[in-house]
Structures are given as structure tokens and as C-alpha cells.
Amino acid sequence: MGKATGFMEYVREEEKKRDPLSRLDDWKEYSFPFSNETLARQGARCMDCGTPFCHMGMEINGLTSGCPIHNLIPEWNDLVYRGKWKEALDRLLKTNNFPEFTGRVCPAPCEGSCTVAISDPAVAIKGIERAIIDKGFDEGWVQPRIPEKRTGKKVAIVGSGPAGLACADQLNQAGHSVTVYERADRIGGLLMYGIPNMKLEKEIVERRVRLLEEEGITFITNTEVGKDITADELRSQYDAVVLCTGAQKQRDLVIEGRELNGVHFAMDYLTETTKSLLNSNFADKKFIDAKDKHVIVIGGGDTGADCVATALRQKCKSVVQFGKHPALPKERAEGNPWPQAPLVFTLDYAYEEAKSKFGQDPRQFCIQTKKIVGDENGNVKELHTIQMEKSFDENGNAVFKEIPGTEKVWPCDLVFIAIGFEGPEQPVLKQFGVETVNRKVNAPYGKFTTNVEGVFAAGDARRGQSLIVWAIHEGRGAAREVDRFLMGATNLP
């Protein structure tokens, strides 16, 4: 334990963010890493509890509590406090293949279950994690680790998101020859096309992919398994296949006016924006442009928030985000005790930016879109909404009731649908003949095996839309089971 009284002496500090207005002029990361002095103080706040809930990684009431990859948080907090950075990095890499991603964009369920957070703001775990790996790269400590021996076994991984990359990394380190197939033109899954550049700069993703390539992993882009190469071909060429295809089938809005020009899926908007930024710094104009437009995002989640931040950078005229649920309380509600993930009101980066630009939080709560209305040319012109009241029936199920007299018309030029995902796309799963449950691949947690011998599944394809840290956890778990399948035993964690 770093400093026995650290948690009483020092307060939590947040990573500094760039000014919300001026950061709208570029697509660079919006937060700054901690200074070394701040990091030492923040590391000192860790109490090194006997039972560190921060790394339990469990689901309680459907919410993640603690770190799913069981990062050895108290250990590296202590090492950072003592300035032993290299040792801290070694500890961190024992459990996390890609801390440079989670240290930036993980929602940090570890912090919600930090013991300090029972009475005070949590230890700044995520910021410390980011600092350790950034220092590791800056100091040249992160170097390619080329496996000394090869087993002669070949594994194909379908999909290059965090689950596929973590699985590939583990299997490659175990000596297997790994090929990752990706239908997009760049590697990374939602790390690349989904999460916007200002949350996770794409050079950070590319740096990791280069390292994995140097370590021996083969990446094949622009290749859709099921179309460009069949399931049978893949199975005959490889000793095992891991399906890490994500859960990107978007949920559509069944509503009058859905077909109008200017109504788009959020993911199309986010993907095209990043692609155009990376390909040509927007010179190719191959993106949906919110400049001088009134923008409405339907869907109150994080994908919607990323659309808000993107529209702001494109200089939209206005932006609002509709959510169907009420605003969360400022403090934990009675039914949401520690160490559960705290369900409390926060001002995400996108909302902070919108507030700075337009003077108010862009979120509209308890609102339902009734119809979308277009002009004579078929372009979206306005949205008609009504306020809703949320209550619970005798079985505890949420019930939404319209409030008469709260109808409203919103002028609008662009609508982004961000109401969630329906699970993985089915055709590739069908071609492999794998069974599904609720559209997700039926591969028991911990085993990751499907009904088809030698075919495994991990990440969102198996569990539904989730978090990067769960994808890494599942990729590691599937790698362990593939290694066991190929070799009869495994040393992978």
C-alpha cells in the first residue's frame, strides 16, 4: 500500500479536459493525461483493501461492477505512487492486452465499486491506467514480443474488434499462427469505426495493430467471411475458427416518415465521418454533413452522445438528443447501493460541449417521437413528439404513458437513429451452422464453444452490445479454450 493515509489527505482529481468550445474546432482527443505529481497523489489514495471490489468484474442487476478483466488495480496504484512505472506496466499487461483503449474510453466500472467511493469520490483508476501504458509506449518499454516457438496450428479469427484482437494476441503468444479477417478497410471494429476520433484517436488503434503485425499476426481487410471466403473454406484451411463479428445490426425506428431524406442510422453517420477524416481530412466529402443543420438524435445512449459531439464539430445549427427514460438522480437511489455501478446523472463530454455551445444540455428526457414530417421534396422538415411518464406495474416492469397536451413540433434537417442494436448479423452465423439464442451466438460463457466442432465465439457476437473491456475479457477467454482444444491443455490465463 502506497500511503496509508493517502485517501484522507488527497482528493480525487479528474483528468483535465480541453476547453469544450475550442475543442469543437478539431477532432483530436478531448482529455489530457494526468501529470506525474497528480498520478502519485491519485495512486496514494488507493487503500489496498483486503477485498478489492474494484477488480471483481461481476454483473449485479445487469450492470457491470468492478473490472471484467480483473486488472490488478491496487498493485499498480501502489507502484505508480512509488514511481515504479515499469513494474506497474508489467502488472497491467498481465491482465489487459490493450490498456491504451480502456484507459481512454472504458466507462470504468472499477471506480463505481472502489471502496473509497463508499464515502468519497473513487480513486482515479482509469486515468492511472492510461498513464501507465502511455508511459510504456513513450519510454519504448512496449516492444514486439515475437513467440519463440510455433505450434504449427492455424487459427482464423473473424472480426477485428477488441474481442478478435485480444483473442489473436493471446493465441499468437501461445505460438499458434493467427489470421484475422475483417470486412472493413481498416482493422479495429468499433474501436476504429464507431467510437469517434475525439474519444480515441485512430493512431492509437493503428499503433497497436502494427505491433500485433510485427509479432506475427496476419490481418486481411476488405474480406467478408461468408461472401468473399466461405465458412467451409475457412474451416478446411484452419484448425479452429473464432467468431468475433460483433453485434452491429442496428435497431430501426418503425415510424411514419422513416424513409425521408436526412434520416440516417447513427452508425452510418459515425463510420462515414471517421472514414472521411482518415482518408482525406474530409476533402472527399464522403460523409453526412450536419453543417448549418438542425440535428435531432433519437436514442438516449452513448452512441447518440457520440453523434451529438460529431454534429457539433461539423458546426450544426442546433442539436438535441431524445431519450425515453427520465434523467438519472444526482445521488445513488436506494435500490442502487455500492458496489453496484452508480446510476447517477453525469455530464458526458458531448453534453458538456453542447452546453458550452448552445447554453443548454442537449438531452430531452421522457420524450417519444410520434412521426417525422418531410417537405415537398421528400426531405425531413420536422419531428412531432410527446412527453411520456414512466411508472412500474405490479411485476416491476416499466410502463410508459403519454402525457396529453405535451405534443411538440421540432424543426429538423437531419435525424440520427441511435436506439440500440439487435445483435449480430445472421448470415455469416448461418453459414457456419452455429446455433443462436436471441440472435446471439450460443456459446456458453467460460467455454466459448459453439455447437460446431472447432468454431468458437467471443465478444458482442456472443453477449450482445457491451463494452470494450468485456470484449477483451471474452477474447482472452476464447483464446484459452481454443488453445486447450488445439493442444489438449493450456497455460493461457
Report angle CA 135, 137, 138 to the nearest 5 degrees. Answer: 60
Q: Which lies closer to ligand SF4 via its Cβ, residue 125 or residue 482?
A: 125
Q: How far apart are the first and last CA of the chain?
A: 26
CA distances from 33 to 114, 130, 133, 135, 263 (A): 21, 7, 11, 10, 37
Q: How far is the CB of 69 from ligand SF4 (least distance, A)?
A: 6
Calpha distance 70→214 (Å, rounded) = 27
**Interaction partner, residue 288 (ligand SF4, ligand FAD, none; CB < 5-8 Å by kind):** none
Q: Which lies closer to ligand SF4 via its Cβ, residue 69 or residue 458?
A: 69
Query: For residues 32-71, which are near ligand SF4 according to CB under 6 A?
Result: 67, 69, 71
Q: Which lies closer to ligand SF4 via its Cβ, residue 51 or residue 236?
A: 51
Which has the closest alpha carbon to 390: 382, 401, 379? 401
209: which 3 cell numbers?
495493430
**Interaction partner, residue 43 (ligand SF4, ligand FAD, none; CB < 5-8 Å by kind):** none
Q: How far is the CB of 108 from ligand FAD (least distance, A)?
A: 9
Q: What number of chain residues touch ligand SF4 (CB under 6 A)? A: 13
Q: Which lies closer to ligand FAD via its Cβ, residue 46 or residue 158?
A: 158
33: which 3 cell numbers?
493525461
Calpha distance 458→165 (Å, rounded) = 11
Q: How far is the CB of 222 from ligand FAD (least distance, A)?
A: 9
Calpha distance 445→447 (Å, rounded) = 6
Cβ neighbours, 10 Å, residue 24: 20
Residue 35 per-residue DSSP state: P
Binding mask of the shown chain, residues 70 to 109, with x at each position contacting ligand SF4 by CB under 6 A: -x-x----------------------------x---x-xx
Q: How far is the CB of 469 from ligand SF4 (least distance, A)?
A: 4
Q: How far is the CB of 390 from ligand SF4 (least distance, A)?
A: 29
**Interaction partner, residue 73 (ligand SF4, ligand FAD, none; CB < 5-8 Å by kind):** ligand SF4
Helices then strands, each counted (H, E), the chain: 16, 20
Given the rule CB under 6 A, which residues bind ligand FAD? 105-107, 158-164, 181-184, 189-190, 194-195, 199, 224-226, 244-246, 248, 270, 302-303, 306, 428, 459-461, 465-469, 471
Name the residue type at position 122: A
Query: For residues 108-127, which are near ligand SF4 according to CB under 6 A?
Result: 108-110, 125-126
**Interaction partner, residue 362 (ligand FAD, ligand SF4, none; CB < 5-8 Å by kind):** none
Name the residue type at position 390: K
Would you say 383 and 410 are in contact if contact means Cβ atoms under 8 Å apart?
yes
Q: How far is the CB of 80 from ligand SF4 (least distance, A)?
A: 13
Does 307 engage in binding with ligand SF4 (CB under 6 A)?
no
Which has the closest alpha carbon to 163: 258, 232, 68, 81? 68
Binding mask of the shown chain, residues 450 to 469, with x at each position contacting ligand SF4 by CB under 6 A: -------------------x
Calpha distance 447→457 (Å, rounded) = 9
**Interaction partner, residue 105 (ligand FAD, ligand SF4, none; CB < 5-8 Å by kind):** ligand FAD
Q: How far is the CB of 169 from ligand SF4 (least distance, A)?
A: 15
367: which 3 cell numbers?
420524450
Q: How far is the CB of 99 from ligand SF4 (least distance, A)?
A: 7
- Owner of C-alpha cell 430531452: 364
Q: Which lies closer to ligand FAD via its Cβ, residue 131 or residue 187?
A: 187
Q: Which residues contact 22 (CB under 8 A, 6 or more apart)?
A: none
Which has the closest alpha carbon to 465: 250, 165, 224, 178? 250
Which has the closest alpha carbon to 155: 442, 434, 480, 491? 480
Q: How far is the CB of 70 from ligand SF4 (least distance, A)?
A: 8
State CA 3 to chain mean position distance.
Answer: 33
Q: Which lies closer to ligand FAD via its Cβ, residue 95 or residue 466?
A: 466
Sheet strands (E) in 169-230: 177-181, 218-220
Which residues would be at the binding site for ligand SF4 (CB under 6 A)? 67, 69, 71, 73, 102, 106, 108-110, 125-126, 129, 469
